[in-house]
Chains A and B, each alone.
Chain A
Amino acid sequence: MDNRDQYLQMFFDESAEYLQQLNENVLLLEENPEDEEIINAVFRAAHSVKGMSATMGYDRLTDLTHRIENILAKVRNKELLINEYIIDTLFSGLDYIKLLLDDIRANGEEVTDVSDYLYKLEEILENGGVIQETEEIEMEVETGQQDFTGMLPLTEEEKEDIYNKMTSDDKIFNIKVMLAEDCLLKNVRGYMILKKAQEMGYLAKSNPDQRKIEDEDFGNAIYIKLVSSLREKQIKQELADIIDVDEVIIHTEKKEVEVVKEVEKEEKKILVDNSKKQREGLSNIQVSPTVRVDIKKLDNLMNMVGELLINKTRLEGLNIQSDVYQDIIQQLDRVTQDLHHIVMQIRMVPIGGIFNRFPRMVRDLSKELDKEIDLIIEGADTELDRSLIDELGDPLMHILRNSIDHGIERPEIRKQKGKSPEGTILLRAYQKGSEIIIEVEDDGAGIDTDVIVKKAIERGIVTPDEARQMEERDRLNLIFQPGFSTSEQVTDISGRGVGMDVVRSVVEALDGQVYLESELDVGTRFTISLPLTLAITQALMVVINDEVYAIPLGSISETLLISPDEIMQVRGQEVILLRENTIPLVEASRQLNLPVEYGRYRENEEIPVVIIKSAERQIGLIVDELLNQQEIVIKSLGKYLVNIKNISGATIVGDGDVALILDVRNIA
């Protein structure tokens, strides 16, 4: 049972991977219906899913993928032309695969009925196939006069490949081998023919290809393009000697000397390209030597590194006056830092993992809404912590849905506004300092704050009076309030009752922030900023009311020591001037509601102030004392103390005490 569970997990993991590949590649196929590389990639992925499903004994999945594979095989052999209908059918097939996988995950067996869909596939296979087959026969008749090179169409790459492999002695032979009508083991004979051809030279292409031959999916003729230095007669003889071969017809192509020369000139470059191509051709999965590791184990490892770090800090605290001690501390420091770095690296995964699902979604939604949308993805290779990736999918999905539904206008409206009918959504990720920034930008209608405010008043989120006093930024941010949906009619796409408030709460739970910028008729941009890692960060340690607190460096712009007479009053608010910026002051103990007398700092000669920065604002936080800067391991306060405002977690300091981590986002 255990073993099966393990296999099942692998099956789920891998099939999810293949499904993702399928989605991506079918999307690519829609854009490049002729590209054999892509067709092959789709074929391989479908084939892999089929193989795995068959092994695990899931008949419907096997059947489904088998038929999808058949369609792709026809496409590959140019018997079926890619059209929108086929692409749509393929996509719904992928959805069915997902449904079946979900079934298995939930119930252990396949529940979804796919028979209707299988019928649809069969129809494509038959109708699509029949039309093409007649063409094929015609072609055969036409090419009956021994010119059958048309049966072996070459792509530019294959041509290059051939010229690349040719030496001056080589010739290109187009060979037609006819098997006897009563030939029994056709696949074996076909295989022998291909094998023989390979022995005699470079087998550039065959129709049917090796897979089809193995599946015995061909008529009696096998066409071969062979590059060889042997003479025509010899080749003919060798092939004719194979059992059940009735007839061998050979055409020798004239060598294109010019091309060969040109190729030789660029030989090096092509060789490199070629080997790359071959690598990619072998498998679409990035084959690097990797292992799958349970994320829990990585979490454990991370915890251990955290422990090590805490103890290192404690050791440093001893501050013994000894060279050996100093030496050890330095070594230890280096090793723990490297270790930390490596563990972080291990946990990092490219954000492409979630970005990749969006093209399909955008395609489907824009079709559904009759909109034309070009989704541009940038920075899919940006890496961030695995735990963040898992959480980010839904919020991003929601923002994108929002952009598609509310942002991008219909083509006719866009034309009226003088925009191109096709809207653009830019999904971009990049690293900025110790933060990862993810942006979703559209060139759509923008957000009308008057509409927002009206809605917010209707829903009782703000009163008209409050709204009047709000800054533009705050009005815009009303959409992040719980229970807000601006869509006039609740659509299936973004008006599901859950709204932007969910986006914000998820992002904030990840210790990140989400900003919104919008300009009417120009577009909207959502920006999510996240810490590179959740577990360990640099922090400034400060003292507030005799307790040590940690403030993550990411939110600090600088620290100051000010004298009381630098403090000024502006409309009842204490401020300081810093490089001509007026910065409001906030007393930390008051902000934390600590039971002490406020305002005592005015008696001090020097007042320590930490300048906290957020997206648009700066604020000066008055603390009692500034300590050191150090690396801290972020720990949660546990299930029972979540969401305590202004406290985001705790860390263990050198002496083993607990220091709370200030969450300064709401202060600034």
Chain B
Amino acid sequence: MLLSNFKNRKKDDIQQEERQFIVFTVGQERFGVDVNQIKQVIPVMEATHIPNSPSFVKGVINLRGDIIPIIDLADKLSLKQSQVDEEKKRIIIVELDEISNIGMLVDTVTEMIRIHADKITDAPEIARAVHTDYIQGVAKIDKQLLILLNLNKVLTTEELIELGKIEF
């Protein structure tokens, strides 16, 4: 009992010190997202368009029997559309809760990195292109800034309600 508590605490400490992030690009921007949020990364698939949904909803795909909505991050975050070929794009599958997953369409997934907690700072104003709610922080790596996203919050509650209300 005590031992396992101790072990858990130690693990937590380590996690606080160093976290793993997946780095991806959308348009000109580089973003990082905590691996714990990501279920998997898949090649782009053709999505079934959903009539009258917001433009950032690309549609739905079939992922091994599950229907998963795809959000176009570039559109959602109002970033410049990329020059990357549509077929080369990636979908990051994010686990939102036990039952629902959502897919985020990104340009490329470049690498997986470890970032020490020291190097993560709160979101500065420079990230003004992006609404700050879903910015976990910013990390400075090799003199480059990496914006760390909380993909769970990319869709705000209000938007989710809006999504639920789509009518025509």
Contacts and interface: CB of A to CB of B under 8 A. Distances in A.
Interface string A640-668: 11111111001010001111100000000
B67 A593 contact: no
Nearest to A638: B100
B164 A306 contact: no
Contacts, number: 85
Given A658-B48, A659-B48, A639 B100 contact: yes
Given A637-B60, A639-B99, A640-B163, A306 B65 contact: yes
Interface residues of A, number: 28
Interface string A27-67: 00000000000000000000000000000000000000000
A644 B53 contact: yes
Contacts of B47: 658
A303 B99 CA distance: 13
A658 B62 CA distance: 6
A632 B110 CA distance: 39
Contacts of B96: 639-640
B93 to A, nearest CB: 12
B52 A592 contact: yes
Given A635-B67, A657-B62, A658-B67, A641 B48 contact: no
B60 A658 contact: yes
A659 B72 CA distance: 20
B102 A640 contact: yes
A637 B160 contact: no
B164 A656 contact: no
Contacts of A474: none
A637 B50 contact: yes
Interface string B2-26: 0000000000000000000000000
Best-buried of B51, B66, B69, B155 by chain A (most CB within 10 Å): B51
B51 A641 contact: no
A638 B102 contact: yes
Contacts of A593: 51-52, 168
Contacts of A642: 163-164
A308 to B, nearest CB: 10
Best-buried of A652, A658, A660 by chain B (most CB within 10 Å): A658
A641 B65 contact: no
A636 B67 contact: yes
Best-buried of A641, A643, A657 by chain B (most CB within 10 Å): A641
A594 B60 contact: no
A547 interface: yes
B102 A650 contact: no
Interface string A393-420: 0000000000000000000000000000
Contacts of A238: none
Interface string B41-57: 00000111111110001
A638 B62 CA distance: 12
A307 interface: yes
A509 B43 CA distance: 34
Interface in A541-571: 547
B144 to A, nearest CB: 32
A310 interface: yes
B167 interface: yes
A657 B48 CA distance: 8
Given A593-B52, A646-B51, A656 B167 contact: no
Nearest to B96: A639
Nearest to A653: B62
Nearest to B66: A635
B73 interface: no
Contacts of B59: 658
Given A307-B65, A659-B48, A643 B60 contact: no
Interface string A154-178: 0000000000000000000000000
A643 B165 contact: yes
A644 to B, nearest CB: 5
A652 B63 CA distance: 10
Nearest to A546: B49
B166 interface: yes
A642 B101 CA distance: 14
A623 to B, nearest CB: 13
B23 to A, nearest CB: 25
Interface string A289-308: 00000000000000100110
A647 B163 CA distance: 13
Best-buried of A303, A635, A640 by chain B (most CB within 10 Å): A640
A594 B59 CA distance: 14
Contacts of B163: 640-642
Interface in B82-100: 96-97, 99-100
Given A592-B52, A646-B51, A650-B60, A640 B160 contact: yes
B105 interface: no
A547 B96 CA distance: 28
B68 interface: yes
B164 A638 contact: no
Contacts of B57: 641
A310 B68 contact: no
Given A593-B52, A639-B99, A659-B48, A303 B67 contact: no
Best-buried of B47, B101, B168 by chain A (most CB within 10 Å): B168
Contacts of A594: 51
Given A593-B168, A639-B100, A644 B65 contact: no
B124 to A, nearest CB: 30
Nearest to A662: B51
Given A637-B67, A642-B164, A652-B65, A660 B53 contact: no
Contact of A640 (B48, B66, B100): B100
B37 to A, nearest CB: 16
Contact of B51 (A647, A652, A659): A647
A420 B52 CA distance: 55
Contacts of B164: 640, 642-643
A506 to B, nearest CB: 16
A594 B53 CA distance: 10
B84 to A, nearest CB: 24
B33 interface: no
Nearest 7 A/B pairs, CB to CB: A592-B51, A658-B48, A639-B100, A593-B168, A645-B167, A593-B52, A635-B67
Given A640-B160, A641-B69, A656-B62, 18 more contacts: A303-B65, A306-B65, A592-B52, A593-B168, A637-B69, A638-B60, A638-B67, A639-B100, A639-B160, A640-B96, A640-B102, A640-B163, A644-B53, A645-B52, A645-B168, A657-B48, A659-B48, A660-B48
25 contacts: A303-B65, A592-B51, A593-B52, A636-B67, A638-B67, A638-B68, A639-B96, A639-B99, A640-B69, A640-B163, A641-B163, A642-B164, A644-B51, A644-B166, A645-B52, A645-B168, A647-B51, A650-B67, A652-B65, A657-B46, A658-B47, A658-B48, A658-B62, A658-B67, A660-B51
Interface of A: 303, 306-307, 310, 547, 592-594, 635-647, 650, 652, 656-660
